[in-house]
Structure 1
Amino acid sequence: MKSSLRSIGDTATRFGLDTHVLRHWEDKGLLQPERDGADRRRYGDDDLVRIAVILRSKAAGMTLDQIAVLLDDDHGPRRHAVLQEHIAELDRRMAEMQLSRAMTVHAFECEAHDVTRCPGFRSTIQDVLDGTAAWPGTQALP
């Protein structure tokens, strides 16, 4: 059974995107929609799957270059390296989010007028105060 083909406008609307985004992704090699007799883009079910993968991957913090490797059949070994790096980055971000959540919960529940003077609150940021917290693009202080 042949999938139904959709216009760029219908496809963009379905995903809450502007049409220029789909054109940009096509320019980057992430999408290759069919063309009709008037050279208009026509998006099929496989294109919709690729768009969903792109959106979910971007939401997870992947770059378009990383996504291109993920979607390219010729990058098997490189795909694994890119995904391994991304998994490590997700783990780092999740750990940072857990620390941030603990700080936020303490601030919410804290009865101190100034949470920055609360010893319990300070314990949630001790790694930052000690200079042992590693931030992306920076190094901890010696």
Structure 2
Amino acid sequence: MRTIGEAAAQLGIEAHVLRHWEQVGALSVPRDGNGYRVFDDRALEQARTVLKLRRVGLSLPEVTAAMAPVKSEAQAVVARKIAALEGEVRARQRAITFLRHTVDCRHRYLDDCPDCATFVRS
């Protein structure tokens, strides 16, 4: 059993973050007889899962949905995030390709290069 401060320190985040996650429904933490949050192993593991999902790019509403008890709903949220991330990867790859070309381009001005013009139009 850990206090919110101990749990936050163990996770490397601030206690207010854990409170916010609980407030929005992404985290469920039991309380003791005095109403204080008590992070047992299950609550701490749930907080680790929320933290990992946040770090891979899910918003808090997406995290909450991804942790839904209905597996198909959770899978749908994760599948949409995968598709979005794959789109970002493709866009970044196009950007890298364009920038590499500009580094190696023999034209002094990018406007003079037909390849650069093609990149710009796409």
TM-score normalised by length of structure 1 = 0.68
CA distance in 1, matches of 2:4, 2:114: 54
Cross-structure match for 2:35: 39
Kindly indicate whether the alpha-carbon contact (under 8 Å) linking 2:3 and 2:38 is maintained by their aligned counterparts in 1.
Answer: yes
Q: CA, structure 1 residues 14+122, in 2 after alignment: closer, same or farther (shift >3 Å)?
A: farther
How far is 1:35 from its partner?
Answer: 1.3
What is the 5 A alignment of 1:1-142? 5-73=1-69, 75-103=70-98, 110=104, 116=110, 119=113, 122=116, 126=119, 129-130=120-121, 132=122
Matched AA of 1:76: K
Determine if contact 2:27/2:50 at 8 Å carries over to the other structure.
Answer: no
- TM-score (ref. length: structure 2): 0.78
Cα pair distance change 1:111/1:100, threshold 3 Å: closer
Residues in 1 aligned to 2:32 and 2:114: alpha-carbon distance in whole angstroms? 64
Question: Normalized per residue, which structure has more helix?
Answer: 2
Q: Which runs of 5+ in 1 are unaligned?
A: 133-142
**Which residues of structure 2 form unaligned runs of 5+?**
none
Q: Which amino acid aligns with 1:24?
A: H
Quote the offset at 1:18 in angstroms: 1.5
Q: Show the counterpart of 1:139.
A: none
Residues 83-113 of structure 1: per-residue CA shift (max 9 Å, x gap): 2211111111122232334455566x6597x
Residue pair 1:33, 1:47 contacting (<8 A) in 2 also: yes
Aligned positions, number: 122
Q: Percent identity between the aligned chains?
A: 25
| Residues 67-86 of structure 1 deviation map (CA, whole Å, 9 limit, x = unaligned) | 1111121x333222212211
1-structure distance, mates of 2:55, 2:92: 15
CA distance in 2, matches of 1:116, 1:100: 15
